[in-house]
Amino acid sequence: MAVAAVPLIDNFTSVFTAFDPYHEYFITPLSGGLVNFTVRVNISDPTEEHECLFGSARSVVAKYAPAYVASIGESAPFSQYRQASILPTFKSSDRSTRSCFALQAVCQHKYSRHVGFGKCQNMDKWLVSGPDVEAAAKVGAKFGEFLARLDVSLNLFEHFDNPSIHELIFGYAIAPIESHLLKCGYDPSDAAFVGKLCIAMHERQQVRLKRFEGAVFGIGDSWPRSFLVDGTSYDIKPSVVDWEFAGMISPLIDLAQLCAHLYLLCQTSSPEVKSRVKKYTLAMVRAHHNQAPEWHYKAEYRADAWLLFGREIIINTIEMEWWGGDEVRKQADMKMLGGQGAAFVTDAKRRGNQVGALFEDVFDTLC
């Protein structure tokens, strides 16, 4: 994915200065974003005593939400209300659903300024950084419980619609499946078949959602960089960010998308990192299975989750960098991972009839 240049860095500085003029602000663009322009803001010590908007934080993340997908441009319009419209709903909702989670707050939302603030330590980087496996399991269980309970007491899908995401998701994550498999060296006729299965699943879900059949509220962009971890192993503070794709989805979709990224992280990491990712993921899927309503695990939703799991493995094998510039390993792994993703897609219906925690058998056997 190409990283778009952050426009008008000075504008971030001026916005922060308007919020709190008693600091200096140093802006560094961040990579990896698709729909927003995102920067890290390092904050100097205050020039005089005052009630600081940022508390004791000296490093925060700011996002500018343009009226289009940042990495594509004006040819892909996207609502500027995306995150600002959902976060106030959490503020007024049943706090028990958050399960001690930190969520972003909207500091200011105007047509001319769309900036959010928050501390940032991405889940994937946290797992790579070396937490012990017990801490990884603890965080995994917390995120699994959060995803399971996200819709249960809020029924947010009844109050929040996000129609602009569906065409974008189709164009970015579904339509390219066949061509991505060809890049992985997959047989052309088999690649076409897998692509058709993914399109059929998307169309099937859209029909269900239009009838409000099996609808739940979900993050919609559930990948490791939407999940943040802060604190020590004795005082872990999980957070969830990036709600611009949030809206009505089918059950298990957020879990499946996140697990696909974790599968790729497992398959491309050292044994030490793999053990932590495995422990984290198993704790997450088991907690989700224990906490989610039983109907979320109906066979049809499980089958769709397995298909999406495979689809996301295919997409992100191509779209993300897992190999640190090692082209030889990349070419070898792409063929393997593309084939594995395709196998999950074609076997989704059978796997949907299984019971127990989703993806448990896959991660349990990774070594």
239 near 103, Cβ under 8 Å? yes
Task: Name the token pair of 56.
Answer: 């004791």
More confident position, 313 or 21: 313
**What is the model's pLDDT at position 81?**
53
Q: Note the helical H segments in 81-184.
A: 87-91, 123-129, 133-149, 164-169, 177-183
Nearest to 305 by CA among 324, 318, 319, 292: 292
pLDDT for residue 210: 82
d(CA 239, CA 119): 9
Question: SS3 of 71, please?
Answer: coil
**Per-residue pLDDT, 95:** 42
3-state secondary structure of 111: coil
Q: What percent of the chain has pLDDT over 70?
A: 75
Return the number of other C-beta atoms located less than 10 Å from residue 325's C-beta.
Answer: 7
The model carries a pTM of: 0.76
From the list 136, 138, 141, the residue with the least C-alpha distance to 125 is 136
188 or 90, greater pLDDT: 188
Q: Specify the CATH class of 123-364 in words.
A: alpha beta
- pLDDT category of residue 120 using cuts at 50, 70 and 90: low
Backbone angle region of 212, left / alpha / beta, with phi > 0 → left and psi within -120 to 50 → alpha: left
Whose CA is closest to 233, among 124, 131, 141?
Answer: 131
* H or E, element range at 246: none
Query: Which residue has 């040819």 as its token pair?
Result: 75
Domain positions in the chain: 9-118, 123-364
DSSP state of 113: E
